[in-house]
Structure 1
Amino acid sequence: MFERFSRPAREVVIGAQEEARSLGHDWIGTEHLLLSALRLPEQPGVSTLVRLGVSAETCRAAVSSVVGGADGDALGPEDAEALKAFGIDLEEIRRRAENAFGDGALDTPVSDPGESAPRRRRLGRLRRRESGARGDGGSGGTGELPGPSRHIPFTGRAKKTLELSLREAVARKDRHIGVEHVVLALLRGDDKISQGMFQRLGVAPKEMRDLVLADLRTAA
């Protein structure tokens, strides 16, 4: 599917990994695709968002709020699992987590905060079993978190967005997948991260989709 993407759309997909790394996240989600798209404010679809007040800065603040930036409140035991989904100010979170839960509290891989809690628990159990089989504590024997050069996987919701972008292109009878199709697919996102992000941006996804489509018709 990737070869069908236009050059700017490929830049969005590649840039999403850079956005995830810049935020210290261990996953690539819809939030990172949107942040990457906003690097190209003149592109169709993105230009509509920008015209209506959405910027990389406001989007980054919304992502930090939805995903879970650390605040100054004390952390209790009920926060242990949520902490593993945090990727912002990781060193401070690690310090607090280890103070509350002991050394190595964050040494398991970070999971996508958009996943359901049961799925996170299943993945956590699987990772602990794999760590026990390797005898390395889950960190390759180093006791360190994965380095910034490690490949960051796409979440299921991000993959769904890329698949939906193909459907958007087909529905419009376009011969390639452009940034506009990625934006339209993002606005169809029904996961809690996407919904929370757009809510904080003051964006009603359905209405915004209609405006993007209207701008595309005008430009055609």
Structure 2
Amino acid sequence: MFERFATEARRTVTLAGGEAQRLGHRHLGTEHLLLGLLAQPQDPAARLLGRFGLDLDAGRLAVARALGGPDPERDGAALATIGIDLAAVREAVESTFGPGALDAPPAGGRSRWSGPRFTDRAKRVMALSLRAAADGRVRRIETGHLLLGLIREGGGTAVRLLRERGVDLADLEREAEAMSADGRAEAS
């Protein structure tokens, strides 16, 4: 299926895998696909999400709070209660060992593919993305189709986070459809 993905859509999936690893998650779920979209701020899907008040930093924090993972704000507050300044520790470690030295290592135990395994819901997003592209009579799956797949899957963590942020999913879906149709017109 990935041979039908446009470059930006492939990059979204790659970035989603990186986000999952950064959070220490052994799965790649809808929430990571959402972060993969947000990680490309110049992409039309990310700009659309931005118009709905979403950005990568807020997305990462929401995912970490929902599923666990690095939460610098929480970690720093917890350490401060026992007299440890996390920012000072990070600065000292990174000055000696380099940037990101305290970041979580990728989870081990991988098969041939080095990234986290797709959840059933993430697989469904992929299938729905393919269907959205087919319904639009285009051969390539673009990031807008991935966004439509996320919305239409309807039950994953990504949708839950969007709802918690007050996003009207019907409005977002209409705008994503229009964006995908505009992209189709530009490609003609």
Contact 2:125-2:153 at 8 Å conserved across structures: yes
C-alpha separation between the residues in 2 aligned to 1:179 and 1:191?
19
TM-superposition CA deviations, 1:163-201 (whole Å, max 9, x none): 110000000111201111001111112225233211222
- Aligned residue pairs total 148
What letter corresponds to residue 157 of structure 2 in structure 1? I
Contact 2:39 / 2:56 at 8 angstroms: preserved in 1?
A: yes
| Equivalent-residue separation in structure 1 for 2:152 and 2:34 (angstroms) | 12
- Report the equivalent of 1:64: 64
For structure 1, which runs of at least 5 residues remain unmatched after alignment?
Answer: 70-86, 93-144
Q: Which residue of 1 aligns with 2:52?
A: 52
Which structure has greater helix proportion? Answer: 2
CA distance in 2, matches of 1:66, 1:30: 13
Match status 1:181 vs 2:145: yes
Map 1:158-173; keep pairs closer than 5 Å: 158-173=122-137
- Which residue does the alignment assign to 1:201? 165
- Where 1:42 maps in the other structure, the secondary structure is coil
The one-letter code matched in structure 2 to 1:197 is L
**Contact 2:21–2:115, Cα closer than 8 Å, also in 1:** no
1:16–1:169: structure 2 CA closer, same or farther, 3 Å change rule?
same
Question: Any runs of at least 4 consecutive aligned residues in structure 1 with deviations exceeding 6 A, and if so which?
Answer: none
| Cα separation, 2, equivalents of 1:156 and 1:208 | 23
RMSD between aligned residues: 2.3
| In 1, Cα distance between equivalents of 2:176 and 2:7 | 20
| 8 A Cα contact 1:62 1:201, kept in partner | no
- 2:108 maps to a residue whose letter is G
Instruction: Kindly report which structure 2 residues correspond to 1:104-183, keeping only aligned pairs within 5 A, or say none.
Output: 146-147=107-108, 151-183=115-147
Query: Retained in 2: the 8 A contact 1:66–1:196?
Result: no
Instruction: Tell me the amino acid that sits aligned with residue 162 of structure 1.
Output: M
Greater C-alpha radius of gyration: 1
User: Paired residue for 2:35?
Assistant: 35
The 3 A distance-change label for structure 1 pair 173 and 31 is: same
Over 3 Å counting, the alpha-carbon distance change for 1:183 and 1:156 in structure 2 is same
Counterpart pick for 1:215 among 179, 184, 187: 179
Task: Indicate conservation of the 8 Å contact 1:9/1:177, yes or no.
Answer: yes
Say if 1:25 and 1:88, in contact at 8 Å, map to a contact too: no
Distance 1:59 1:146 in 2: 21
Work out whether residues 6 and 176 of structure 1, in 8 Å CA contact, stay in contact via their aligned partners in 2. Answer: yes
Identity across the alignment (%): 36
- Tell me by how many angstroms 1:202 deviates: 1.9
Shift of 1:6: 0.6
Deviation at 1:151, TM superposition (A): 3.9
Q: Deviations over 1:4-41 (max 9, x none)?
A: 10111111111111000111111100000110111112
